[in-house]
Chains A and B, each alone.
Chain A
């Protein structure tokens, strides 16, 4: 069964600094990977996804993640963060489940941006 590990439960950074949120998954023949963001009192929103093709995927708000098969990692990065990026970030991997899919989530990383 798939498992996902987010190595940092909390990451504090200053505004306009770069940030990396780490995610590792257990090895699998084929894997689909996702980053979701959860703002306070809201549900999860898809940030970006890796299904196949280019190993570097980007979101519309400046985040990017790189699929690294040899290191079984899918770390999330942003070169310059804003106060509005304060949220909890979840890495997830999917497993097929009779036509639907099962998402296995990491424990989440709380990103706090300080002015």
Chain B
């Protein structure tokens, strides 16, 4: 595997379910990010992890719970979601600023539908 991978690619869940999204980066980066992409809205940054430590929680509801066990893996745990949470969830990674570049590399995303 190369780059940033995300599983599953598609997920349909009911409002009472609990599920998790997984992201893995194979680029040797040490910062990882979760974004939400909804129709007709700009991409929204949800969470940032820097060396496994959460440095940003962009006012995200508690029904979204991130976990970063190491600098290569990032999870987003989901529970009691609402239909308006249906969106494409994108994971990204980067080197730290001032290091080897500033660009973020994105995974293909998980298309989430909440019924």
- Residues on A lying within 8 angstroms of B by beta carbon are 32, 34, 36, 41-46, 49, 51, 90, 94, 96-103, 105-108
Between A and B, 16 residue pairs with Cβ closer than 8 Å are A41-B108, A42-B108, A43-B4, A43-B90, A49-B102, A49-B103, A96-B97, A97-B56, A100-B48, A100-B49, A100-B97, A101-B94, A101-B97, A102-B48, A103-B104, A108-B42
B34 part of interface (Cβ distance < 8 Å): no
The residue in chain B whose Cβ has the minimal distance to the Cβ of A105 is B43
Q: Which of B4, B6, B45, B107 contacts A103 (CB 8 A)?
A: B45
Closest residue to A9 on the B side, CB-wise? B40
Does B75 interact with chain A (Cβ within 8 Å)? no
A44→B106 contact, CB < 8 A: yes
- In contact, A105 and B42 (Cβ under 8 angstroms): yes
Decide if the interface of chain A is mainly helix, strand, loop or mixed: strand
**Within the assembled complex, what's the spacing in Å between the Cα atoms of A99 and B96?**
6
- Pair B90/A44 contact, Cβ less than 8 Å: yes
B55 within 8 A of A: yes
Tell me, yes or no, whether B21 is within 8 Å of chain A by CB: no
Contact B102 A43 (CB under 8 A): no
Partner of B45, one of A36, A45, A102: A102
Min C-beta distance of A82 to chain B, whole Å: 23
Chain A residues, CB < 8 A from B92: 44
Contacts of B106 in A (CB 8 A): 36, 43-45
Q: Tell me the complex Cα distance, A51–B97, Å.
A: 11
A36 to B37, CA, bound (A): 14
Bound CA–CA A94/B104 (angstroms):
10
List the A side residues contacting B42 at CB < 8 Å: 105-108
The answer to whether B103 and A34 have CB atoms under 8 Å apart is yes
Q: Once the chains are docked, how many angstroms separate the CA of A41 from the CA of B59? A: 27
Which listed residue, B33, B50, B103, B107, touches A46 by the CB 8 Å rule? Answer: B103
CB distance from B2 to the nearest CB of A (A): 13
Instruction: Please indicate the chain B residues that have their CB under 8 angstroms from the CB of A103 in the complex.
Output: 33, 43, 45, 104
Asked whether B50 lies within 8 Å of A98 as measured between CB atoms, the reply is yes
A79 to chain B, nearest CB (A): 25
